[in-house]
Amino acid sequence: MIGLILGTSEGKKILSLLNEFTEDIFISTATEYGASLLRNYKYNYMNSKPLDFEKLVDELKKRNIKVLVDASHPYAVEVTRNAIKACNKLNIEYIRYERPSCIEEFKDEFKVIEVEDYNELKLKLKDIKGTILNTTGSKSVDKILALKLENRIVYRVLPTLKVLKELYDRNIELGDIIALKGPVGYELNCGFIKEYKAQAMLLKDSGIEGGTFEKIRACLDCGIYAFIIERKKINYQHVFHNVNEMVKYIRTIN
């Protein structure tokens, strides 16, 4: 059986191509919402809750997984590390699908600034006056709050009850929340920048599929800074950046 850890929009394409020759598939997503997007595809088992290392090992053993495709989000580092560790323990072939980066063409733009982590981000933000748009997701809210910035921070997050409650519990003002499902296009990014008179945007290197290109282009055209939290560097033994090539390979070993 093929195992899939899915956390990006490419999951639909991966499943669609795999379904051309098999439905002997185990899928694991981190949320019910993520699972709901895949209901119309063919598979044998679906897990829709986060799995820690031990639970992941149990599922992989129970489903008799022979190859595991890790297509989790580029910033879901713990998920990836657990997947690699579990595959090594169970002698399962591990394959990483890594969404391509799209920030290389902006490397010469002085207002596009990459930072290694949130500590470096704090140093880079010290001269920024005014509103900052945070588009790095709800899981980074505590990290942003820990920076104790004097700026107004506007958070763009998923419009789920769980996420909105988390922000409410942290005393974040309703006026500082943009709740909508991304990715959004260039015009809407420009609209947010202008509406909130933002001077900078915080974002992740989530690839074209994650809306990163449109965000950076909007920042540059509106004359504001784009601060990008870098991806953690992980050395993969077997990684693909193209879904078609990856599925073609799986077909040869399945």
Q: Is the same domain home to 26 and 113?
A: no
Domain containing 113 equals 104-229
pLDDT of residue 34: 84
Q: Is the same domain home to 126 and 89?
A: no
Q: Is the same domain home to 119 and 77?
A: no
Q: Are strands 177-179 and 45-47 parallel, antiparallel or unpaired?
A: unpaired
Q: Is the same domain home to 91 and 160?
A: no
In DSSP notation, the chain reads: -EEEEE-STTHHHHHHHHTTT---EEEE-SSHHHHHTTTTS--SEEE-S---HHHHHHHHHHTT-SEEEEE--TT-HHHHHHHHHHHHHHTPEEEEE-PPP--GGGTT-TTEEEESSHHHHHHHHTT--SEEEE-S-GGGHHHHHHT--SS-EEEEE---HHHHHHHHHTT--GGGEEE--S---HHHHHHHHHHTTEEEEEEE--TTTTTHHHHHHHHHHTT-EEEEEPPPP---SSEES-HHHHHHHHHHH-
Centre a 10 Å sphere on the Cβ of residue 55 and count the other Cβ atoms it contains: 15
Q: How far lies 95's CA from each of 9, 63, 119, 133, in Å?
A: 17, 17, 32, 35
Q: Is the same domain home to 32 and 96?
A: yes
Q: Name the amino acid, one letter, at 87.
A: C
Q: Is the same domain home to 28 and 81?
A: yes
Which residues are 5's β-sheet partners? 28, 70
Q: What is the CATH number of the domain that holds 247?
A: 3.40.50.720
Q: Is the same domain home to 125 and 70?
A: no
Q: How many domains, in total, are found in the chain?
A: 2
Q: Is the same domain home to 219 and 110?
A: yes
Q: Is the same domain home to 243 and 212?
A: no
Averaged over successive runs of 10 residues, the pLDDT of the chain (254 residues) comes to 90 94 94 86 93 96 96 93 97 95 92 95 94 95 95 95 95 96 94 98 93 97 97 91 96 84
Q: What are phi and psi of 222, to 5 degrees?
A: -95, 0
pLDDT of residue 85: 97
Q: Is the same domain home to 127 and 221?
A: yes
Q: Token pair for residue 57?
A: 């090992």
Q: Is the same domain home to 196 and 216?
A: yes
Q: What is the CATH number of the domain that holds 175?
A: 3.40.50.1980
> Which of 109, 153, 131 minimizes the C-alpha distance to 199?
131
Q: Is the same domain home to 72 and 160?
A: no
